[in-house]
């Protein structure tokens, strides 16, 4: 079945450091890919998405490119801030209503 | 526009007790979903409503879990009797339509079964 694998955390970075959170997937067909973020005490929020190969999703300085050849959707940000501290979830949907999530990666950014 | 709301935010109960979680979707969203994250693992799909009808409950763990959506508005998820392994965070989401449409998530209910 479909699945998402993302790097285990926690990831601890200093402010202004470069961030990469790896995400790879297994899916039949052509899934849509998402990154969701959960800030402390809040719900899951859509951070960015990509619906077809080579699409780049971007939001709030975060980017991820849908790479069909490597079945990946890695999340990157050039300069993280303390306010980016949160749990990040990679997810996919293969045209159905079910989201398949990864295990989540906790990011802690130190001032 | 109000987002998806869930109640309570936290619940601590003892094994064998009953707990009912509530979800209020975004107004006008016919599709409502329940997910669960257990012990820091991945968030897993539980079930999907379209209005008041269950479209898919393939992710429900067992018959101790009962979800309802009377009138097609808010939904409840009852766990009876609760077991230790039911502890986790229960998320509700809603969307205008199913398929590749974005699902909007609530803050979750953290359930602890002692």
Residue B18: per-residue pLDDT? 97
pLDDT in tens, chain A (111 residues): 889 999 888 999 999 999 999 999 999 888 999 999 999 888 899 999 999 999 999 999 999 999 999 999 999 999 999 999 999 999 998 867 789 999 999 999 999
User: How does DSSP assign B58-84, residue by residue?
Assistant: TT--STTEEEE-GGGS-EEEEESS--G
Whether residue B104 is predicted with pLDDT greater than 70 in this model: the reply is yes
Chain B residues inside the 8 Å CB shell of A36: 105
A26 touches chain B (CB under 8 A): no
Closest approach of A8 to chain B, Cα-based (Å): 10
Considering chain B, what is the average pLDDT of its residues?
92
Q: Do B100 and A51 touch (CB under 8 A)?
A: yes
Residue-wise pLDDT for B23-63, tens only, equals 999 999 999 999 999 987 889 999 999 999 999 999 999 99
């Amino acid at each position: 079945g479909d699945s998402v694998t993302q790097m285990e955390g926690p990831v601890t970075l200093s402010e202004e450091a470069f961030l990469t959170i790896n995400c790879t997937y297994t899916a039949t067909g052509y899934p849509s890919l998402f990154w969701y973020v959960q800030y402390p005490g809040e719900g899951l929020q859509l951070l960015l998405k990509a619906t077809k190969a080579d699409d780049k999703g971007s939001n709030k300085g975060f980017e991820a490119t849908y790479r069909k050849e490597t079945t990946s959707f890695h999340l990157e940000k050039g300069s993280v801030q303390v306010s980016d501290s949160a749990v990040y979830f990679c997810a996919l949907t293969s045209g159905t209503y079910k989201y398949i999530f990864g295990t989540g990666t906790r990011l802690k950014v130190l001032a | 526009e109000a987002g998806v709301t869930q109640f309570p935010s936290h619940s601590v109960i003892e094994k064998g007790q009953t707990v009912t979680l509530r979800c209020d979707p975004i107004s006008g969203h016919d599709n409502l979903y329940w997910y669960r994250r257990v012990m820091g693992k991945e968030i897993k799909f539980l079930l999907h409503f379209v209005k008041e009808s269950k479209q898919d409950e393939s992710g429900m763990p067992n018959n101790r879990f009962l979800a309802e959506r009377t009138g097609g508005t808010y939904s409840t998820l009852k766990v009876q009797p609760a077991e230790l392994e039911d502890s986790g965070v229960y998320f509700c989401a809603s969307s205008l339509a199913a398929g590749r449409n974005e699902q909007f998530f609530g803050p979750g209910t953290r359930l602890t079964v002692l």
